[in-house]
Amino acid sequence: MDKIAVLIPCYNEEKTVEKVVRDFRQVLPEAVIYVYDNNSSDRTVELAEKAGAVVRHEYLQGKGNVIRRMFREIDAEVYIMTDGDDTYPAEFAREMVDKVLHHQSDMVVGDRLSSTYFTENKRPFHNFGNSLVRGTINKLFHTEIKDIMTGYRAFSYQFVKTFPVLSKGFEIETEMTIHAADKNMQVDNVVIEYRDRPEGSESKLNTYSDGAKVLMSIAKLYRNYKPMHFFGIMALLLTIISAGFFCPVLAEYVATGLVPKFPTLIVCGFTLMAAIQSVFAGLILAAGAQRSRQEFEMHLMQVDIRYKELKKDE
């Protein structure tokens, strides 16, 4: 088992990957640095090997697929995940590692939004999107995580080996954050400086399509992790709609004793039935979610045992 593993997912990052590997080797000389190439068509692999990284490959395209491969293959006491585009300075890695090793952190978030992100980043919709996602998740899941979409994080062995990677693309950071919040894992923030990509280096993130995927991912995860809240909101909306259309019908019946809009009354009845079904769906799924959390705690205990065994074998 490695003491520290630095994980760098890469896709066509020949402009910066060599510098990123060397920077992290300087700050964390005891770490093993892994570059996982995701079908690059440039010199990413060659330059990463030249800089001293262990290069491996993931042939399914997408950042989520790369991280899934990393987490399955590597055992370490602490993991540092960063991007290969040189936007995250390596000098903050030591503080993040120490929080995992000495402060029992399960995930440490490299917080860009509290420092230079809004001035360095030249894409205004990214700024808006990051703020929107942060506010939405912190509100829905009652967390105080400062940067949801950052690619600069540190993880404990327990987090990595119990995190089910389901996302294939850039939604992965959102999935990590919500998983940590739902499973009551310790999350700490470390304020980092952010610098925009150097000239000639292009982002693989599409502002609109990937942003829409992230928002859809939040909705799906909220439904899965907090089903009673999700379906309770649906039931409330359906009840309000039903009541809104039913009130004029009721008022006319009280005044005249007639129901001329009988189809509206039928629709109101079916809408109210859908609201009641939503409540019961939420109750059933909430019981399943509770059982899933109990099973997770048992699995976490098994991972702790394996971690101690690996430590003894060092």
35 pLDDT higher than 80: yes
Confidence of residue 238 (pLDDT cuts 50, 70, 90): very high
124 pLDDT higher than 90: no
Backbone dihedral region for residue 86 (phi beyond 0: left; psi -120 to 50: alpha; all else: beta) = left
The pTM is what? Answer: 0.84
Q: Please tell me the predicted confidence (pLDDT) of residue 89.
A: 92
Reported as a single tens digit per residue, the pLDDT across 180-219 is: 999 999 999 999 988 776 766 666 666 677 778 888 888 9
Reported as a single tens digit per residue, the pLDDT across 239-274 is: 999 999 999 999 988 888 888 888 999 999 999 999
CATH number for 2-224 (one of 3.30.70.140, 3.90.550.10, 1.20.1080.10, 2.130.10.10): it is 3.90.550.10
- Select from 249, 247, 245, 244 the least CA-distant residue to 260: 249
* End-to-end Cα spacing for the chain: 7
Helices and strands (H, E) in the chain, number of each type: 11, 7
Q: Please tell me the predicted confidence (pLDDT) of residue 270.
A: 95
Q: Which residue carries 């990393």 as its tokens?
A: 70
Confidence of residue 168 (pLDDT cuts 50, 70, 90): confident
Q: Please tell me the predicted confidence (pLDDT) of residue 169.
A: 83
Question: How much is the mean pLDDT over the chain?
Answer: 90
Burial grade of 66 (CB within 10 A; 0-12, 13-18, 19 or more): buried
Domain locations in the chain?
Answer: 2-224, 227-313
Confidence of residue 297 (pLDDT cuts 50, 70, 90): very high
Q: How far is CA 72 from CA 66, 89, 124, 295, 312, in A?
A: 10, 26, 36, 20, 21
Confidence of residue 52 (pLDDT cuts 50, 70, 90): very high
Phi, psi torsion values for 203, nearest 5 degrees: -75, 145
d(CA 309, CA 304): 9
Which residues, 6 or more positions from 87, have their beta carbon under 8 angstroms from its beta carbon?
Answer: 194, 195, 196, 197
68 pLDDT higher than 80: yes
Q: What are the residues facing 7 on neighbouring strands?
A: 34, 81
Mapped onto helix, strand or coil, the DSSP state of residue 28 is coil
Q: Which residue carries 């004793």 as its tokens?
A: 257
Q: Please tell me the predicted confidence (pLDDT) of residue 133.
A: 87
Q: Please tell me the predicted confidence (pLDDT) of residue 298.
A: 93
Backbone dihedral region for residue 205 (phi beyond 0: left; psi -120 to 50: alpha; all else: beta) = beta
Structure tokens, 81: 């995940």
